[in-house]
Amino acid sequence: QVHLVESGGGLVQAGGSLRLSCAASGRIFNIYAMGWFRRAPGEEREFVAAVKPTGTSTAYADSVKGRFTISRDNGKNTVYLQMNSLKPEDTAVYYCNTITWATGSPREDVWGQGTQVTVSS
């Protein structure tokens, strides 16, 4: 099992940027596809972005395509989410997790504490 700790959230004005980080423990981090998910108040958790184990392929939800970029550094056991041109509707708690690439679903229903992103208009 991979243990995950998210960080980098905060309060930002619309149009601003944030970079989220997800630090993973476990020596087998680099065999998993990794994903970012988010949960807005009163909503279900939704898929945001994913990156394959080697970092060569990525996928995004339509709502963030062209604005967010996912990347990973396997040497640091860390996955990142660069968020640009932020909108108020991006406000949510953001989580990372290992992900099943074919379905975009998390491999395990085990979550970290997440990191809060708040975008003011």
- Residues 8-65 have pLDDT tens digits of 999 999 999 999 999 998 767 788 899 999 999 999 999 999 999 999 999 999 999 9
Say which residue the tokens 């020596």 belong to: 27
29-65 as b/e, with b when 16 or more CB fall inside 10 Å?
bbebbbbbbbeeeeeebebbbbbebeeeeebbbeebe
Q: Which two tokens stand for residue 110?
A: 């085990």
- Residues 54-108 have pLDDT tens digits of 999 999 999 999 999 999 999 999 999 999 999 999 999 999 999 999 998 999 8
